[in-house]
Chain A
């Protein structure tokens, strides 16, 4: 069974600073995909970044980047130059190539301090 663990229920960051959100996962599959989704106070979830496990290169999307450590089963999200609009719940998720399932972690609530 797949599991996704986000060990930081809440985090805060000063505006313009950098913050890293942690995520670890457990899977028996060699081919899988990892995601970070953002859920702002409006509730509607949107994709932040997607990583294919067979790709060595860490995915980046503007100010968002990941540190993907396949051997350690770690997939952290780094937000650079934090902005007030980054305040949200962030969910890490995993999908195995052979499974009909997207497994979410319990989320990390990020606050941005002006």
Chain B
């Protein structure tokens, strides 16, 4: 039982490049989330999903897209990376909604030059 895994763990991009972060969970959770963590800012929600085939915007969605084609996977895409997207990205999942305990992945450190 791996819990929540994220791929890759580190990535360096140049401005304008694109990439996709992959999140996978093996707990059969309905809800999945993408957060970003910046120094002194806590965690901020980018997008979330309430089930397979659904996505919704969070607090800071601009510049990101997401997809949830399979229940266990939640992808975060950056179409044209900008230096402001340099951050640590965390994926999380929960059995039911935001009131439930969220289980986090180990994070992806992304640097955009």
B87-113 vs A, CB cutoff 8 Å, 1 = contact: the mask equals 010101000011101101111000000
A39-70 vs B, CB cutoff 8 Å, 1 = contact: the mask equals 00011111100100000000000000000000
B57, closest chain A residue (CB):
A100
B interface residues, tally (CB under 8 Å):
23
A100, closest chain B residue (CB):
B98
Question: Measured between C-beta atoms, what is the minimum distance from B16 to chain A in Å?
Answer: 27
A37 to B42, CA, bound (A): 11
Contact B59–A101 (Cβ < 8 Å): yes
User: Chain A contacts of B33 at CB under 8 A?
Assistant: 102
A32 to B99, CA, bound (A): 8
A106 to B106, CA, bound (A): 19
A37 to B101, CA, bound (A): 10
Contact of B48 among A46, A50, A91, A100 (CB under 8 A): A100
Contact A43–B42 (Cβ < 8 Å): no
CB proximity to B under 8 Å, residues A1-50: 4, 32-33, 35, 37, 42-47, 50
Question: Measured between C-beta atoms, what is the minimum distance from A51 to chain B in Å?
Answer: 11
A interface residues, tally (CB under 8 Å):
23
A102 to B97, CA, bound (A): 10
A46, closest chain B residue (CB):
B104
Contact A95–B99 (Cβ < 8 Å): yes
User: Chain A contacts of B48 at CB under 8 A?
Assistant: 100
**Given A99-B98, A100-B56; A106-B40 close (CB under 8 Å):** yes
User: Chain B contacts of A44 at CB under 8 A?
Assistant: 104-107
Contact A50–B101 (Cβ < 8 Å): yes
In the assembled complex, A97 has its CB within 8 A of some CB on chain B: yes
A residues touching B (Cβ–Cβ < 8 Å)?
4, 32-33, 35, 37, 42-47, 50, 91, 95, 97, 99-102, 104-107
The 5 closest A-B pairs by CB, nearest first: A104-B42, A45-B104, A95-B98, A33-B99, A104-B43
Beyond the given pairs A100-B56, A104-B42, A104-B43, 15 more chain A to chain B contacts, judged by CB atoms under 8 angstroms and listed by A's residue number, are A32-B99, A33-B99, A37-B104, A43-B88, A44-B104, A47-B102, A91-B43, A95-B99, A97-B99, A99-B98, A100-B48, A100-B97, A101-B58, A104-B44, A106-B42
